[in-house]
Amino acid sequence: MNVDDLEKRLFKAARTAPMNETVPYAFEKRIMGRVNELVRQDGLTYWAAGLWRAAVSGVFIMLVCGVLTMVSISAGSETQSLAADLEETVFAAFDASGGAW
């Protein structure tokens, strides 16, 4: 059997077939049922999406606040020790002179 010939014959048969455009009874009702369901779900999804967005924003703000607080605490402790160091340096000469001004 010639494969070329067989292939050609099979393609020819497939090409000559008219498109089967039969639609099951009331199929559009089934589609519209699903569409209406989607519209209803979309309303809820809208709120859910809004809540999720708010939750994500809330977590982001919380993280930013946390980081800022950590930075300010560590920066604050540096300032405290710097102040203590400065005070010590300034008063070092006074201490060395035995406090006789």
Partner 1 sequence: MEASDAECIDAVLNGDTSRFEELVIKYQPRVFGTVRRYSRRESEVEDIVQEVFIKAFRKLDSFRGDAPFEHWLMRLTVRTCYDFLRAHKRDREMFISDLAESESDWLDRFDAGDDRAEESLADARELIYYVLEKLPASYKMVIVLMEIEGRTVKEISELTGWSVSLVKVRAHRARKELRKHLERLIKDRKL
Residues that bind partner 1 (CB under 8 A): 1, 3, 6-7, 9-11, 13-17, 19-24, 27-28, 30-32, 34-36, 38-39
Shortest Cβ distance from residue 8 to partner 1 (Å)?
10
Q: Whose Cβ is closer to partner 1: residue 40's or residue 53's?
A: 40
Lookup: tokens for 32: 């519209």
Shortest Cβ distance from residue 55 to partner 1 (Å)?
25
Cα–Cα–Cα angle for 30, 31, 34, rounded to 5 degrees:
90
Cα–Cα–Cα angle for 31, 32, 37, rounded to 5 degrees:
100
Q: Whose Cβ is closer to partner 1: residue 27's or residue 101's?
A: 27
Shortest Cβ distance from residue 72 to partner 1 (Å)?
47
Indicate the SS3 state at residue 85: helix
Lookup: tokens for 50: 């809004």
